[in-house]
């Protein structure tokens, strides 16, 4: 589904992503973890075509990723970390617009919209302008828009930020079922428990370089530690903790 090889991105002299390789299989939920500034968002933006790589190759659905290929875009969705929607549209108008550009069947659209907006409990707010929505409601609207046309591949950048616990749980359950149905999810998150709970494979990136990739069991490699322990040991967090303890 996603093939990445020798992918790098430089911003001037600063290396954001350095020569990374990984692949995501069809029907897999792939969690991409890393601390702030490690290169997660740059990677997801390169995968979705929003940022051009400095070098390396990205293949999605067996083709080179290019945002000018409308057919590829029709089969995928991206939920960015900041739900920046045009505020002067109502929730309903925004979803109508998305359904129109994805050329959805009207009946299918109506059913999917009703199902998702009821699940996220924003169905009563659809007539309200998006600018009146809270951060969480916007996030739910963007998630609805991303899911309603049933993409085969879903990119989620910090999808649970701003979501209340109930919606968080609903989203997790929805994603599990969604992946079980054969679809693919590429997820970046700081919430390690989320990755631990729903990811099929986990990849940890630090300072632009991939530190480890595998299933949770493979990452643990027989040890008793949690994902948090593994994450901190690979991203320098333990050293920071030790340093803080010594100073204290």
Partner 1 sequence: MLKQILKLETKSKINYLKALDTSKILVYVILAFIIMMVLLPMMWMLMSTFFINAEESLIPKALILLSLAVLIIHALFLVNGIIKEMFMDKNIESYLLLPIKPTHLFTAKMIIQYGFKVFPINLILAVIVGAALTIRYSHPVILLNSLMYFVALGVLTIAVSYGLVFLVTKISSAKRVGEILTLVGGFASVLPFFIMTIGGQYLIQTIEMMPEINFLYAGYLYKPSLIMTIVVNIALVLLITALVRLTVSSVTQAFIKGNVNDNVNRYHGSVKTTVDHPIKSLIKKDLKLTFRDFKEWSVVLPQYLFPFIFLYLVAANPVMFGGVLNPDQVIIAIGFAGAVMISLFVSAMNTARDASHYQFLKLLPVNGLTLMRAKYLYNVITILPVYVVLSVVIYFIITPTLAALMYTIILSILTVLTVIPIGMVIGLMSPVVSKKSPANRLDTASNVIITTTIFVLVLAVGRISSLVFEVVDGNNVINHQAMFTLLISLTVLCLVLAYFCIRKTAKKHNEGYKITYKD
* Min separation Cβ 74 and partner 1, Å: 4
> By CB under 8 A, how many residues form the interface with partner 1?
40
Residues 117-156 that bind partner 1 (CB under 8 A): 126-129, 131-132
Nearer to partner 1, 55 or 100 (CB): 100
The one segment of 86-94, 161-169, 198-206, 222-230 that binds partner 1 by CB under 8 A: 86-94
**Nearest approach, Cβ of residue 49 and partner 1 (Å):** 8
The partner residues of 187 in beta bridges, in order of sequence, read 31, 156
Report 4-63 residues binding partner 1 (CB under 8 A): 48-50, 52
Which among 9-17, 29-37, 80-88, 156-164 is the span making contact with partner 1, rule CB under 8 A? 80-88
Please select the residue that binds partner 1; options are 9, 40, 73, 140, rule is CB under 8 A: 73
CB-nearer residue toward partner 1: 104 or 156: 104
**Could you tell me the smallest distance in angstroms from the CB atom of residue 245 to partner 1?**
32
Tokens representing 227 are 């994902």
Q: Which residues fall within 8 angstroms of residue 73, CB to CB, at 6 or more apart? A: 67
**100 in contact with partner 1 (CB under 8 A):** yes
Structure tokens at 180: 């079980």
Quick one: which of 56, 102, 150, 196 contacts partner 1 (CB under 8 A)? Answer: 102
Report CA-CA distances (Å) from 199 to 13, 41, 61, 75, 98.
34, 18, 21, 21, 28
Structure-token pair, residue 21: 């390789």
Separation of alpha carbons 227 and 33, rounded Å: 11
For the CB of residue 228, give the shortest distance to partner 1 in the complex, in Å. 32
* Position among 84, 217, 245, 247 found at the interface with partner 1 (CB under 8 A): 84
Comparing CA positions, the residue from 63, 43, 39 lying closest to residue 51 is 43
Cβ at position 121, least distance to partner 1 in Å? 15
Nearer to partner 1, 188 or 235 (CB): 188
Dihedral of CA atoms 130, 134, 140, 143 in degrees, nearest 10, equals 60
To the nearest whole angstrom, how small is the minimum distance from the Cβ of residue 91 to partner 1?
8
Pick from 235, 75, 73: which is nearest to 227 by CA? 235
> Which two three-digit tokens encode residue 232?
């901190």
Q: Transcribe 174-221 into DSSP letters.
A: HHHHHHHTT-EEEEE-S-HHHHHHH-SEEEEEETTEEEEEE-HHHHHT
On whether the CB atoms of residues 197 and 172 are closer than 8 A, the answer is yes
Question: What residues line the site for partner 1 (CB under 8 A)?
Answer: 48-50, 52, 67-68, 70-71, 73-74, 78, 80, 84-86, 88-90, 92-93, 96-106, 109-110, 113, 126-129, 131-132
């Amino acid at each position: 589904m996603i093939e990445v090889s020798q992918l790098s991105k430089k911003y001037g002299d600063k290396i954001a992503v350095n020569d990374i390789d990984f692949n995501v299989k069809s029907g897999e939920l792939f969690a991409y973890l890393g601390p702030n500034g490690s290169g997660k968002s740059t990677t997801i933006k390169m995968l979705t075509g929003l940022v051009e790589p400095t070098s390396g190759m990205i293949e999605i659905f067996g083709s080179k990723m290019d945002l000018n290929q409308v057919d590829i875009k029709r089969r995928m969705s991206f939920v960015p970390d900041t739900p920046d929607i045009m505020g002067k549209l109502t929730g309903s108008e925004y979803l109508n617009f998305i359904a129109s550009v994805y050329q959805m069947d009207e009946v299918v659209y109506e059913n999917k919209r009703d199902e998702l907006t009821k699940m996220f409990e924003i169905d009563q707010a659809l007539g309200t302008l998006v600018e009146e929505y809270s951060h969480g409601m916007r996030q739910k609207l963007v998630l609805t828009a991303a899911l309603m046309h049933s993409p085969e591949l879903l990119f989620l950048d910090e999808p649970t930020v701003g979501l209340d616990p109930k919606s968080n749980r609903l989203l997790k359950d929805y994603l599990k079922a969604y992946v079980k149905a054969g679809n693919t999810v590429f997820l970046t998150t700081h919430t390690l428990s989320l990755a631990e709970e729903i990811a099929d494979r986990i990849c940890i990136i630090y300072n632009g370089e991939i530190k480890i990739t595998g299933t949770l069991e493979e990452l643990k490699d027989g040890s008793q530690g949690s994902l948090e322990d593994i994450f901190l040991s690979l991203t320098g967090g333990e050293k920071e903790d030790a340093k803080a303890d010594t100073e204290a």
